[in-house]
Amino acid sequence: MKAKIADRDGALAWIFLMPSVVYILALVAVPFILAVGLAVSDVTAGDPSFNFVGGKNFEAAFSDPVFWRSLGNTFLFTSVSMVLIVILGKVVANILIADFKGKWFVRFLVLLPWTTPVTLGAISWLWLLDSIYSPIDWVLRQLGFLAPQGNGSNMYWLGEPGLAMLSVIAVHVWRLTPLAAVIMMAGLVAIPKDMDEAARIDGAGWWRRMFEVTIPMTLPVIAVAALFGAIFTFTDMAVVDVLTNGGPNNATQVLTSWAFFRGIDGGDIGQGAAVALFLFPLLMAAAIAILRAVRKLEVH
């Protein structure tokens, strides 16, 4: 009987797929259906009884100026972060595949931000960006970029809207660049060496080989790295929550943090679910666009 099952490709396919299907249903499908139900109800932390209210939660969210500011911050946060993550990930990947002494230690250091728990890493940056005792301010002061302490020259990294958004983006890029670098490194290693050698024989320099051989050959992998980065960035709130809690004055509020603030901290679970559901069409559109681009690149 076991031999017969082992010989049936269709049965084996379902057996191997079932754990993934159960996982997706339990941790994705069920919470999504629950979120849809909560978004059309008046459920709150103080009154868990379910009463259907239709689209009132969505109307309340759309009439809230903080929602639109969070939406704009989400697009800004994601777009700037993704550009930097892809560029820096490509640079780091090229360094990681180079042959030099101690490269395994360098790889360990590069992967450390990704393997470190996000909350622990963000707390470390919270100290580094402190408005009074920031080591970054001390270094800038020693280099002459800041006036001596006590003259109001501190960089209030998390206290001014522009600097706060810059700080959040920088920490997020620091955290996700290793993941993008590892994905791109796999693509770089897969490039046939004879293509690079042929380009060298033809007299192509480093920059020409990079833009005419390396990048075109790794574009599908770069697109996959961008897809993972976009999903992580769209759905991440840990960095914002630890560093700024959406402040100052909602300057760094994103949709995920605003949904958490409204639904969990504020107790309005229905409206929090409505705000969170707004991420679904955005993520789907981004995923479809990137996957279509990957398919076109693979065809060509």
**52 by DSSP, 3-state: which?**
strand
Q: According to the model, what pLDDT value does residue 253 have?
A: 92
Q: According to the model, what pLDDT value does residue 252 have?
A: 93
Contacts by 268-273, CB closer than 8 A, 24 or more apart: 268/44, 268/45, 269/38, 269/43, 269/44, 269/45, 270/38, 270/39, 270/40, 270/41, 270/42, 270/43, 270/44, 270/53, 270/57, 271/57, 271/60, 271/61, 273/35, 273/36, 273/38, 273/39, 273/57
Share the mean pLDDT of the chain: 83
Residue 4 has pLDDT above 70, yes or no: no
Q: How many residues are recorded in the chain?
A: 300
pLDDT digits (tens, 9 = 90+) for 121-157: 888 999 999 888 888 888 888 888 777 766 567 788 8
pLDDT digits (tens, 9 = 90+) for 193-234: 777 777 777 777 777 777 777 777 777 788 878 887 888 888
Q: Tell whether pTM > 0.85.
A: no
Once rounded to an integer, what is the mean pLDDT over residues 61-78?
Answer: 91
* Pair of tokens at residue 209: 């080989």
pLDDT digits (tens, 9 = 90+) for 158-190: 988 899 999 999 999 999 898 888 888 888 877
| pLDDT cut 90: percent of the chain above it | 15
Q: According to the model, what pLDDT value does residue 170 have?
A: 93
For the chain, which domains are there? 65-299 (1.10.3720.10)
